[in-house]
Structure 1
Amino acid sequence: MRERIEEAGGDGRAGGTTVRIDGEDLDPDHGGPDQDRIRQDTTRRLERAMGALGTAAMARMDDRLMWFRALSAEDRSWVGLVAQAGIAAFVEWFQHAGEDRPTPSIEFFGTAPRELKRSISLQQTVDIVRTVVEVVEAQTAELAAPGGREQLQQAMLRYTRDVAFAAAQVYAREAEARGSWDARLEALIVDALVRGEVDDGLHSWAAALGWTSSPVVVLAGQAPDDDPQAVVDGLRERGRRSALDLLAGVQGDRLIVIVGGADSVGAAARHVVPRFGPGPIVIGPEVGDLHAAASSARAAMAGLRAAPAWPDAPRPVHAEDLLAERAIDGDADARAQLIENVYRPLTGTPLLDTLATYLEQGTSLEATARLLFVHPNTVRYRLRKITELTGYQPTEGRSAFTLQVGLILGRLSETSVT
């Protein structure tokens, strides 16, 4: 009998050993007469030890894995069943050799309920597989039949490698499917807020995406020329890096971004403004939660439509600073807000006539005083009171324009149209 030992090379099993007896390949992984007998003996030993191995794996997980200790008793028992099923799957796989050996998979995770599979991450799956392997590996000398220790070790290496790849593929597919579903939910939320169709379903969708943040602010602007999905993905990644909740949607040539959890409106804008295309960007008012974000979205969209009327507006600009342009453009919310904030506080007081006269006289203090038969200091005092009541300063150009529009809208609101 001629016996020769060769180092593995071109077959890809680097570092392996091939034993040839009279030209017959006795590679531990492919087997031969003696190797088949050793494999069967080792298989019987493994089958007898499966229960003990499962118990040892549970004890090791409890000792080393903090996340495992934090599970409920029911979930821990399910993980134990998964570990036991994994050991059984390895024993069944080990029995086969050569070309007929099935490709390892993680179908043994099917023993767990769907809720557990959702709560176990890829890293935790790897922890389970690693723990089971360590337990089996620690008892290789006792588990392997005489002469079969290397055979068992090589099989474990191949099996765990292939299971790891299989697990990664499964989680990648689930992540891709989940990503597609999350993208659809995100688009539904953005569309519902833009259209103002807010109901209990909105909160359910947001909860499914893990949205918990407040306050909330909505920004609207031109979308960049990039692929819409790439734009949304980039914004989502920016939100994760900034620890912000962020939803985004591209509708035609518009980009709408909903930001939650920012320390301030300015902070929210700084994180997302670079992702917009050229042109104006409008920031809606800050609101308490996602349910109230429809009003912020409505103001931001109305501001975006009216923004071309103020070419020198800052970028970004607050929707509140575009109230006059929005009102002229037909925004009912802006009209009501101007009437409430500008006209109502002045109605029934000398301040209303003073404001009207001051604006009609081209913001001339002396001309206003002459027409009202009062001292210029009285006019100055009244103008300060107008600023206190409305928040707008009549002596400043943009504020004077907004006050003028508010005054006109207030007069129109009190006129009966027949």
Structure 2
Amino acid sequence: MSDHTAAGGGSRASDRSQTLTRLRSVSGEMATATLQRLDETLPWYAALPPARRSAIGLVAQSGIQSFINWFASRGLPSDSGTAESEPTSAAEASHPHTDAWVAADIFGNAPRELIRSVSLQQTLQLVQVVISVVQEQFTSDDPELRLAFLTYSRDVAFAAADVYAKAAEARGQWDDRLEALVVDSVLNGESADELPSRVAALGWQAVGEVNAVIASVHGVPDLDQLRRQARQLGAELLVGVQADRLVLVLAESEHEEGVERSAAFSVQRVVSGLMSHFSDGPIVIGPPVPTVLEASTSAQAAQAGFTAVAGWQSAPRPTLADDVLPERALAGDPLARVTLIQRAYLPLVQQTTDLLGTLRAYLESGRSLEGTARALYVHPNTVRYRLRRIAEVVGWDPTEPRDALILQTALILGAINDTHE
């Protein structure tokens, strides 16, 4: 090695040592200036709770200290015939992969909830602020240090992206498992105590009533695409796959501020818009319930309807679970039996006019007005009036064939129930 080369190397080593000494002496000043700039330029940072602001401050200080360690570990630029390319500190030897140890140094002490509450975009804004402060106030007079800091900040940006990517992947897998657990609990009516916290963890934000839907599927559907399409239709969605069935929990998503829906929310409209994700089998919509916490009632009705709908050959798609109450009752669904008695039998029993007797006579006569009038010794117009009143009271019209089947099933179940009381 020539004396000139040795002298040059010694000079650069001396300069680097002085630079490192200066960096270490102003590291606290760097951190203070950075936090002040964050407060001045990033409104979302100023609005954070004190604990999270403090956590971000620790991350910024870790980043500055990590840069100093990184700069110390780089050694001098190698010249031919020199030995200065060897590691100059234990840091370089112990951290051969820059991105990995930069991520560990900066983000390793950050609370996990900080990564969830501060987005990647906001993190990159933080990095940009740190870069601008350090460049303006601490590296402007040293081209080598300025270049080194730009290189380091690039590594930080890649490290941040890697940290967030891994967190997103892990959270996505966790969310999928939690969502499947929630849907399974809703379907089976289990774990009611844990349901509120689990639903909240999934970010459920809905308004209005909730419906469960069970639809036929073949294979594994594209659930991400299904969720995106449901959001476009204005629906909040929980989804789970149960063998050949897709279980959905649907509600209207919260309105964004200043945005009005182009049409009133309708579960039937949403389900119709998702038809491409279902197979050719039945689709049954459970009755609405006030909140997701009562969704198991809707899910159980939808599940019973899904099983029994084969008994109604001309059933529409989608089918309301309450439209297959007779088939559900015949299949042994206790909820359908109770629903028929409460909604069709008891309201007629409570009427002062003999609506129940009129309905029974009308159905037993083969839905003949004249036959009913003769059996009751009344005018046919009286029968017509009472039939209209029945439709008003219970919501099913005895003159319609399908409604007549529902009402006749209700009369049978009501009579059986009376004999056992």
**TM-score between the two structures when normalised by the length of structure 2:** 0.84
Q: 2:250 aligns with which of 235, 254, 259?
A: 259
TM-aligned CA deviation for residue 158 of structure 1: 1.8
What letter corresponds to residue 332 of structure 1 in structure 2? Answer: P
Deviation at 1:367, TM superposition (A): 2.0
Partner residue of 2:347 out of 345, 348, 352 = 345
Within the alignment, does 1:375 sit opposite 2:379 as a pair?
yes
Once the two structures are TM-superposed, the CA of residue 270 in structure 1 deviates from its matched residue by 4.2
Aligned partner letter, 1:223? V
1:281/1:315 contact within 8 Å kept: yes
Amino acid at match of 1:156: F
Cα contact 1:45–1:143 (8 A) shared by 2: no
SS of residue in 2 equivalent to 1:414: helix
SS in 2 for 1:330: coil
Distance, in Å, in 2 between the alignment partners of 1:119 and 1:360 is 67
Aligned to 1:224: 218
Point out the more displaced range, 305-314 or 237-246. Answer: 237-246
Q: Does 1:327 align with 2:304?
A: no
- Verify the 8 A CA contact 1:249 1:256 in the aligned structure 2: yes
- Equivalence for 1:199: 192
Matches of residues 27-106 of structure 1 in structure 2 within 5 Å? Answer: 34-97=11-74, 98=85, 100=87, 101=92, 102=95, 103-104=98-99, 105-106=102-103
Deviation at 1:33, TM superposition (A): 5.4
Confirm or deny: 8 A CA contact 1:198 1:294 kept in the other structure: no
Q: What fraction of aligned residue pairs are identical, expressed as a percent? A: 48
Instruction: Answer yes or no: is 1:155 the counterpart of 2:148.
Output: yes
Amino acid at match of 1:333: L
Deviations, residues 348-377 of structure 1 (Å, cap 9, x unaligned)? 753223212222222121222223222111
Deviations for 1:127-156, whole angstroms, at most 9, x for unmatched residues? 221111111111355552xxxx1x223222
1:287 offset after TM fit, Å? Answer: 1.1
Q: Please identify, of 272-281 and 306-315, the stretch whose mean Cα deviation from structure 2 is larger.
A: 272-281
Distance 1:271 1:137 in 2: 54
Contact 1:57 1:132 (8 Å CA) reproduced: yes
Q: 1:269 to 1:384 in 2, by over 3 A?
A: same
AA matched with 1:219:
V
The match for 2:317 is 315
RMSD: 2.6
The equivalent of 1:28 in structure 2 is none
* 1:217 aligned counterpart, secondary structure: strand
Contact 1:282–1:303 (8 Å) recurs in 2:
yes
Compare 71-80 and 329-338 and name the one that shifted more: 71-80
Q: Match for residue 289 of structure 1?
A: 291
Determine the C-alpha separation between the residues in 1 that align with 2:11 and 2:231: 57
Separation in 1, partners of 2:119, 2:218: 35
1:412 counterpart letter in structure 2: I
Q: Deviations over 1:277-298 (max 9, x none)?
A: 2211111111111111110001
1:362 is paired with a residue whose SS is coil
Measure, in 2, the Cα distance between the counterparts of 1:176 and 1:170.
10
**Farther off after superposition, 163-172 or 70-79:** 70-79
Choose from 76, 94, 108 the match for 1:110.
108
Q: What letter corresponds to residue 164 of structure 1 in structure 2? A: A
Supply the distance in 2 between the matched residues of 1:172 and 1:99 (Cα, whole angstroms): 33
Instruction: Tell me how far apart the structure 2 counterparts of residues 315 and 32 of structure 1 sit (CA, whole Å).
Output: 82
Q: Shift of residue 324 of structure 1?
A: 1.4
Structure 1 88/143 Cα, relative in aligned 2: closer, same or farther at 3 Å? farther
> Greater shift after overlay, 261-270 or 66-75?
261-270
> For residues 402 and 300 of structure 1, what CA distance do their matches in structure 2 show?
17
Q: Which moved more, 1:61-70 or 1:32-41?
A: 32-41
Alpha-carbon distance in structure 1 between the residues aligned to 2:86 and 2:223: 47
Query: Whole-Å Cα distance in 2 between the matches of residues 73 and 173 of structure 1?
Result: 27
Pair 1:52–1:337, CA change in 2 (3 A):
same
Distance of 2:131 and 2:419 partners within structure 1:
84
In 2, are the aligned partners of 1:369 and 1:376 still within 8 Å (CA)?
Answer: yes
CA–CA separation in structure 2 for the residues paired with 1:99 and 1:246: 57
Deviations along 1:58-81, whole A, 9 cap, x unmatched? 111111111110022333233222
Once the two structures are TM-superposed, the CA of residue 95 in structure 1 deviates from its matched residue by 1.5
Specify the alignment match of 1:277 in structure 2.
279
Aligned to 1:126, which of 107, 124, 134? 124
2:176 is matched with which residue?
A: 183
Partner of 2:412: 408
Write the distance in 2 (CA, Å) between the matches of 1:221 and 1:178.
27
Distance 1:396 1:389 in 2: 15
Name segments (4+ residues, structure 1) moved above 6 Å.
none
Structure 1 residue 242: deviation in Å? Answer: 4.8
State the partner residue of 2:81: none
SS in 1 for 2:213: strand
**Distance in structure 1 (CA, Å) of the matches to 2:16 and 2:360:** 100
Q: Which amino acid aligns with 1:183?
A: D
Rounded Cα–Cα distance in structure 2 between residues aligned with 1:243 and 1:89: 46
Q: Which runs of 5+ in 2 are unaligned?
A: 75-84, 254-264
Tell me the residue number matched to 1:305. 307
Following the alignment from structure 2 to structure 1, what is the Cα–Cα distance between the partners of residues 50 and 354?
75
Q: TM-score, normalising length from structure 1?
A: 0.84
The answer (yes or no) to whether the contact 2:115–2:164 under 8 Å persists in 1 is no
Indicate conservation of the 8 Å contact 2:233/2:270, yes or no.
Answer: no
* 8 Å contact kept, 2:308–2:324: yes
Deviation at 1:395, TM superposition (A): 0.8
AA matched with 1:154: L
